[in-house]
Amino acid sequence: GAPNVSTATAVREQHGHDESMHPCAPPDVVVWPQAVGQVQELAALCHRCRVPMVPFGTGTGLEGGVNAVQGGVCFDLSRMDAIAELSLEDFSVTVEPGVTRKALNKHLRGTGLWFPVGTVGV
C-alpha cells in the first residue's frame, strides 16, 4: 500500500544514487518490504515480469550499486531491522538486512563485543 510504495520523483532520486561518482539513475518505483515473505513475493513478481530489482540499504556505497540504470523496482530494506539472535558463545548474530552497524553496536553494548567498520559478514 501507499506507505510502503512510492513513485515520487524525490524518493526515486534519493534511491537512485549512492556516495559514488556515478550520476543518479532512479528506479521506477521504491518499495519498503517489512518481511521475508514480502521480499519473496516482490522478487517473484519482478522475475516473472522481467523487471530489474535493485536492493537499497543506506545508500552509502561507493560503487554505484544502487543506480537503477535500467529502471525497475528498488527494494529499500531499511524497515527490516530486527536483530533475531545473538550467540555470545560463537560470536555470531543473525540480523535482518536493514540493521545498521550503529544499531548492531548499540545492541551489543555491554556484551564486550562490537562490529567494526569494514567487517564483512558471511
Got the DSSP string for 58-80?
SS--SS-TT--BTB-EEEE-TT-
Dihedral-angle region of residue 71 (phi above 0 means left; psi in -120 to 50 means alpha; beta otherwise): left
Query: pLDDT (tens digit, 9 = 90+) per residue, 14-23?
Result: 999 988 999 9
State if pTM tops 0.85: no
Q: Does the pLDDT of residue 121 top 60, yes or no?
A: no
Place of cell 543473525: 94
Q: Does the pLDDT of residue 117 top 80, yes or no?
A: no
Q: Does the pLDDT of residue 79 top 50, yes or no?
A: yes
Query: pLDDT (tens digit, 9 = 90+) per residue, 47-76?
Result: 999 999 999 988 888 888 899 999 999 999
Q: Domain ranges for the chain, please list them.
A: 2-76, 81-111
Contacts of 12 (CB under 8 A, 6+ apart): 6, 26, 27, 28, 29, 30, 74
Q: What is the mean pLDDT of residues 91-114?
A: 92
Q: Which fold has domain 2-76?
A: 3.30.43
Task: Identify the CA nearest to 52 among candidates 66, 68, 31.
Answer: 68
Amino acid at position 114, single letter? W
Q: Does the pLDDT of residue 2 top 90, yes or no?
A: no
